[in-house]
Every structure is written in C-alpha cells, then in structure tokens.
Structure 1
C-alpha cells in the first residue's frame, strides 16, 4: 500500500531511542504490519541527513521524507528540503514527517506528535498536512566564516548555547546525563554580558545571560519555554533573560509549566526578525546543535514547508 503522499523515505539516526531495540525497528515493524510501502536510509555522521534529504527530493523526485530521530536529525533534514540561502523549497512541494527519537525531539511536542512509533505509523498513512514556518539564522560559523542555517524549533544565544556546546564535548554514553552535567558546568563558567537585542519593536542593550528565539514551544526535554509561539504565524517568540545562569536553573519548575514569562528578569516579544550582538561572542545553538556565534541575525520563512500531521 502506498499512502496519498507516496512511499515515505525514512531518514533515521541509527541510535535514535536506543538503537536496535529503539524507535526505528519498532516503526518499520509497524509499517510492515500495515502494509505501507517505505524505504529506509540510515545516517552515518553529522550532516549526512541533509545530504540524504536533498538527494531524495532533487535527484530522486521524492515528495515525502520522514526524519526519525531527535531535533538534530529534524534540523538536518529541514536543511536538505529547503535551501537556507534562497529560502526556496527543493523538489516538488516536499512533505516533512517526523517520528521522535534520540535524546530529545521537542519540535513535535508543539503539534502533539510526541507519540510512540506504533501510533506514528498510523499518522504517516494519512494525507493531512500543515504548512509551517522555519527559522533562519545568519551568524559566524565555528570556522570563523559566515554561515546560514535553518532551524525548526528553538534557538538560543548565550548560556543555552554554552550548555549545548559543553554537552556535545561530553561522552555520548552518558545519554541525557550529559545535559544535566553541562547545565551545572555552564552555570559555573558563564557570566552575563552586555547584549544588544533588536526586534520589530526596537533595540535594547542590557546585561543578559540568554536570548531565546522560538518557532516552537518546547525545548530541553519538555520545558515549555515559549507557550505563545506558533510555528505558522510568521512570528518568533523572543525572550531575553537578565538574571544570572543560576536563576535560569532555578526557573526550571516554571519552565516546565510555561509560567516563567511573568518573571521580572524575563522580557518577551513577538517579532518577525531578531538581531543579537554582544560585547563578547555568544555561542548560538538551535535544535540542540551548536551553529556558531554572534553576531547573529534571525528571520522566518513563512509557511515554507508542509509538516505531516
């Protein structure tokens, strides 16, 4: 059986959700049980999912690509389906599917798609889609050259970027414990810095520890950092955090419920663009991947890609 969108190509992180006993084997078993024709390719390193997604829609003429993994896998697939520089969709109106796995896939929580692979197999069968926005950031890449990258969910500049950078240097065998250790380690190392944030409403410079640029609502394994973000309204939810990193850590119970926006050390805007610059370069991460450093400029590609619901 072929779904209305054609046979999906699953681009899978092999370690997603526990490897052999994890998400991919359960998903493929469920698809086989439903008689759904599909193909699977497995990534073998950083950036491979982008190459696979680009080749699928440009060279092979596919229209239905499913990212199986965490937020980093989704980000790579998105950058294969859409050209970051021009903002143009590659191929013939491709559709993005996502089956959550890995150490975290917060992007799909906004849509209620953080479900078991057996449940998601049924979702992949239908034809309902939703056009979504993607974030785009222009910044200084890790090698010091200009870089343009797309992201699907949430970006940070400052303390959050430093947490991700530190976590990525820790052994992956630690699993989610890497992030817990990095949160504590970054609290000790990071200091607030005078930061200039420019949004549609104007420009403000003040000492900050973190700037959040959100397209989706959740990050950090279910923290509702941006409860007012809608990934289809052509607006970022932007937040600046003026407290010290320890204050961000203490706000974790509020972040879980999305009640932190009433804090006196948090400012919030809805904006189509964001520019961040600081007295010292800040690490920028998006969707759990370190992208580079400030100065950084963010804009939105409005409803540029269809998401399978």
Structure 2
C-alpha cells in the first residue's frame, strides 16, 4: 500500500483506499461505491489477485443490473495477488509500477464478462477470467490448501495420482452438442488459470465469445502428457481434446456429478447441470 499511496500523491491523483475485511466484502464495497459515485468520474480499482477482481466485477455487475443503463465507474486492476491470471489474459502489465501508470493514463476498452448459474449460484453470478469443471476445479480446491506459488502445479500432479472418475456429460455450445466422459472442461474469457496453465491460447476478453476447451478421460500417462500441453497452450493438437468458441453453453451430467469453480471460487462439488454465457462489452476496463 505505501507504494500505491506514494505514486498517487506524486501525480496529484485523488484516491481513497478501502481495505476488505472478509470474503465477499470487495463485492459489497464495489456496489456501494458505484451507487454513491455513479454520477462522478471515478474508477474502482481491485488491488489484489483474481479473487479480488472477481468480487469487484460481481459488485459492479450487480449494480449494473439494478441501474440498467446508468453509467458505471471504470474498472481497474493493480495485480498484487498470486496468479494474476485476469491481468495476463487482458494483456495488461503484471508489474505494479506499470499498472499504476495505466491507471493514470485512464484509457479504457470494453470488457466482456462471463455469467454462470449452478451450485452455490442458483440465481447466477459473474466471472471475469474463467470457469473450470472437473479436473481443473478439483485442482483449484487442492491448490487453495497450498500457500506457495507453485501450489497449482503440485495440486495438478496430486489430482492425476488420485485420478477421480470423470462424469459422462452432454455439452451444449450455442446450437451444437457433444457427448463425452470429460475429465476437464473450461470456459475461458481470458487465457490462463492457476498462474501457469494456458487454457485458451486464443482467448480474447474483448471479442464477445468464451473459449470452450475439454479433454476426455484418458490414462494417467496421457493425463500427464495433457498437463504439459496445457502448460504450453498446445492442447488443441491432441486427439482427446476438443475446442470451440461460443456465446452460450450448458453442461448436463448424465452420470456422475460436476465439480465447478469460477475464477478460483468453488461453486459445487456435486452439481448435475450448469449454464454459462458471455455478456459482451459489459464493463469499461482501464487497460492503458
């Protein structure tokens, strides 16, 4: 915080720092600030990691729903978290000083936001970066128990060893459908998850689509091979992997259940069905 305060003071920028006190507090702060200041030229900046970005996005989007077409504050990010996958996917600098320079420049682009309904979000909630179902969601839950940066990779190896049985699913994307015993399904607005895995090499947060990526259940040896492909973003060449782009998706488990996370937050470990879609040009992002 001292670095941030010093930078804003040197540039004569008006600012207020609000510290979160509990999970969900950033969403409440964002909605409250948007309500109190929506007639003024302000920006709401998430200083943190992907979880903080997710909460601020949900706060802004919830306020957007209430106010319909009223102007929203611009959304900015200072990446001081572990993974910073949202910032990576948006093509923004991961360096704090350069991120502060972006805020001062105040140049915005319109950002797509994802929406998901299912599990702990029966009425739906928003995500900025990506949703994972199956292997990825299990890895995410395991990684949360590990407090150092490489935790996601360690959790991925552990999950391969325990090798849970994948559910049989019907996967709908726009007007098409495939059936699969899907070990992993991801819906990406951005490019990367877990600070390392390139889930959607062609992911674009500004194109009005989400990127679907699914790998069916295979042997442990093949899963390890797939893991390395995901690290490089080369999984699209695999015969056991299917990729597509779309606006609307549904996953229905015919056998087994769905383990789901959205931007790193576990939404369910036993859901049977989930709906996902893209909301194009939902927020103004200070990108620089």
Q: TM-score, normalised by structure 2?
A: 0.89
Quick one: which of 161, 181, 188 aligns to 2:137? 161
For residue 124 of structure 2, what is the aligned residue in structure 1?
Answer: 148
Match of 1:226 among 200, 222, 225: 200
CA deviation map 1:269-309 (0-9, x unaligned): 11111101212221111211112344110011110101001
Shift of 1:114: 3.2
Task: Give the C-alpha shift of residue 217 in structure 1.
Answer: 1.3
Secondary structure in 2 matching 1:234: coil
CA separation in 2, counterparts of 1:113 and 1:181?
27
Which of 209, 224, 228 matches 2:183?
209
After superposition, residues 33-48 of structure 1 pair within 5 angstroms as: 33-48=10-25
- C-alpha contact (below 8 Å) 2:185/2:212 kept by paired residues: yes
Distance of 2:178 and 2:63 partners within structure 1: 28
Q: State whether residues 83 and 89 of structure 1, in contact with CA within 8 Å, keep that contact through their aligned partners in structure 2.
A: no
| Number of residue pairs matched by the alignment | 280
Which residue number in structure 1 is paired with residue 230 of structure 2? Answer: 255
Give per-residue Cα distances to partners, 1:46-87, cap 9 Å, x unaligned: 101000000000134463100111111100000000129949
Q: Deviations over 1:15-45 (max 9, x none)?
A: xxxxxxxxx3322322223222211011112
- Which secondary structure state, in structure 1, belongs to the residue aligned with residue 18 of structure 2? strand
Q: What is the rounded CA distance, in whole Å, between the counterparts of 1:159 and 1:198 in structure 2?
A: 19
**Match for residue 176 of structure 1?**
149
What 5-or-longer segments of structure 1 have no aligned partner?
A: 1-23
1:90-109 counterparts in 2 under 5 A? 92-109=71-88
Q: Secondary structure at the match of 1:40?
A: coil
Change (3 A) 1:84 1:233: farther
Q: 5+ unaligned residues in a row in structure 2: which ranges?
A: none
SS of residue paired to 2:3: helix
What is the alpha-carbon distance in structure 2 between the residues aligned to residue 214 and residue 299 of structure 1?
11
**Alignment partner, residue 3 of structure 1:** none
In 2, Cα distance between equivalents of 1:90 and 1:189: 47
Tell me how far 1:254 sits from its aligned partner: 2.5
- Measure how far apart 1:257 and its partner are: 2.9
Choose the corresponding residue for 1:302, options 272, 280, 284.
Answer: 280
The C-alpha deviation readout for 1:142-165, integer Å capped at 9, x for no partner, is xxx724110001111111111112
Question: Deviations along 1:245-267, whole A, 9 cap, x unmatched?
Answer: 84444334332332211111110
Task: Determine the C-alpha separation between the residues in 2 that align with 1:177 and 1:93.
Answer: 36
TM-score, length of structure 1 as denominator length:
0.83
Q: Does 1:291 align with 2:267?
A: yes
Cα distance in 2, alignment partners of residues 105 and 227 from structure 1? 16
CA distance 1:84–1:264, change in 2 (3 Å): farther
**Separation (CA, whole Å) in 1 of partners of 2:178 and 2:262:** 23
Residue 83 of structure 2 aligns to a residue in which SS?
A: coil
Instruction: Give the direction of change, closer, same or farther, for the CA distance of 1:248–1:65 in structure 2 (3 Å limit).
Output: farther
